[in-house]
Amino acid sequence: MQGYSKILSERFPVRKTEKEKQVFISFLEEELQKMGYTPRVEETGRVKSRNIVVGNPEKAAVVLCAHYDTPARKWFGNLQIPVNVPVYLGYQLLNMLILLIPSLILYLLAWQVLGKTAVWIFLLSYLALLLMETMGVGNQQNRNQSSGLTALMEIAFLLPEKARTHVAFVFFDRGEMFTLGAKNYAKEHLQVQYTRLILQLDALGYGRELLLISRKGAQKCTGYQRVVRTLKKTECMNFHVSGNGLSICPGDYKCFQCGMILMACTHRPIAGLCIPYLQTSKDTQTDEKQVESIVKSVVQAVQSFGEGQENQVDEKRQVS
């Protein structure tokens, strides 16, 4: 392990503005070149996204990805509850209702002066609060939030030369802005969107419950079972698998028909499997030994793939 978690937390803790992201991109390109790769930056979309691509995703047996941007600070954090749909929806609804309170207070004050026109004050203030949670001030603590990215960098370093021939890496931009980086990339790379097995590495540094969520297309790929069998053997982790239909988990993987996402969760009463502290000042811890175990498992999974296109849903299918 190269200690990328410490490097990112000390040198690149926030990667939200274009300037912050450009500084990190230069560092990432330099690191990948040291490893023997030839990274390239692909700019896509009306809202420009800069995705860093390594290898040939159209021909790779498996594509590993993570997003490198960091999120805005949320008023009440972002408790991820990926497999308990009712509790997740209730949590999101509660957050939205709480945000109504300051807007309602402002509306009542404005009503005394503006009358019915004050309804616009209410609507605009509420919209502003919602937008600030996505596009506001960058969260300063992102240790677990960045653990998927650092794991991807460690995997790229550890992969032997032979295994690199059938894997590709994509470091997505704007994962925290409606996954625009992945959406733009998928639109321009239909072969990847419809036929490649995609594994997104998400928050991996907190909690002993290792969760793999997969879309239906991924489950039809022959390479899917290889990934599942290998991840089950991850040291010190309890492994869980969930189909996409049984979960609510936003991420870059949803932009691809054969997408999967891997995350580490903790278990809480009522919520069940969840990832706490994201987008808050408490996101300061990452279990490095745990991340190392997951990295080793993913490396083993990649090595298990032979050269060729065995992961395709339909090898005769052509996407134009």
For 9-58, write each residue's pLDDT tens digit.
999 999 999 999 999 999 999 999 999 999 999 999 999 999 999 999 99
pLDDT in tens, 247-288: 889 999 999 999 999 999 999 999 999 999 999 999 999 999
In the predicted structure, residue 309 carries a pLDDT above the cut 90: no
pLDDT in tens, 88-101: 999 999 999 999 99
What pLDDT score does 1 carry?
83
In the predicted structure, residue 164 carries a pLDDT above the cut 80: yes
In the predicted structure, residue 191 carries a pLDDT above the cut 70: yes
What pLDDT score does 248 carry?
87
The pLDDT mean for the chain works out to 93
Q: How confident is the model at residue 133 (pLDDT cuts 50, 70, 90)?
A: confident
Q: Which fold has domain 4-76+140-304?
A: Aminopeptidase (3.40.630)
Which has the minimum average pLDDT: 51-65, 107-121, 124-138?
Answer: 124-138
What pLDDT score does 136 carry?
85
Find the mean pLDDT for residues 63-83. Answer: 94
Q: What percent of the chain has pLDDT over 70?
A: 94
The total number of residues shown for the chain amounts to: 320
What pLDDT score does 313 carry?
54
- Residue ranges, comma separated, of all CATH 3.40.630.10 domains in the chain are 4-76+140-304
In the predicted structure, residue 141 carries a pLDDT above the cut 80: yes
The verdict on pTM exceeding 0.85 is yes
